[in-house]
Amino acid sequence: MSVGLHKKKLKLLLAGLILTLPLSLFAEGNLPVVPKAKAKATAEYGCVNPVADMRKNHMEYLLHQRDQTMHKGIRTKKYSLAKCIECHVTPDKNGKYAEYGDDNFFCSSCHNYAAVSIDCFECHNDKPQSAYSSLSSNKQSLPEGHERFASNDTLPSGDAE
């Protein structure tokens, strides 16, 4: 190859680098923002584990709890899905609870973004017991056949801790 051809290729390479360098410098500003889950766990309330650990390992804890409960009959509250819901699913300013799948629902806020499909709420309630307890004062608003869910000690099936 001739020296002239090498110089031409080197100039093209250098020009390409110069043109793409500004793009890489500003790329950080265009990164997607990962939504934060709506959290009630604070220094006052705490959580069962540190936030970083829960973000990384919550599914392992929930699956282990499920196996302990379903296969061995061991029920504890530390990693109970019902306890997670009790703390992390809170009503909005109008007193309404978001439902699973809605971006405002605690689990969905991250799972929708990450395109992670979960099946917890095919059996479990997506609202805390207090959401059902508050209905007891107005049984007229309950759908027909659901009056029994208004009692403080009865939940729809699938919500054992």
> What is the per-residue pLDDT for 149?
52
Sorted by sequence, the CB contacts under 8 Å of residue 86 that are 6+ apart come out as 128, 129, 130
Upper half-sphere CA count for residue 158 (Cβ side, 13 Å): 10
Query: What does the pLDDT look like over 98-130, one tens digit per residue?
Result: 999 998 898 998 898 889 999 999 999 999 988
* Amino acid symbol at 90: T
Length of the chain: 161
> What is the per-residue pLDDT for 121?
93
Q: Are 54 and 36 in contact (CB under 8 A)?
A: no
Alpha helices (runs of H) in the chain, residue ranges in sequence order: 3-25, 51-72, 81-88, 106-114, 129-133
Instruction: Report the share of the chain in percent with pLDDT over 70.
Output: 68
CA–CA gap between residue 150 and residue 144 (Å, rounded): 12
Query: What does the pLDDT look like over 11-60, one tens digit per residue?
Result: 888 888 788 877 666 666 666 676 666 666 656 667 888 888 988 999 99
Domain extents for the chain?
A: 1-31, 34-150
For the chain, give the mean pLDDT.
78
> What is the per-residue pLDDT for 27?
61
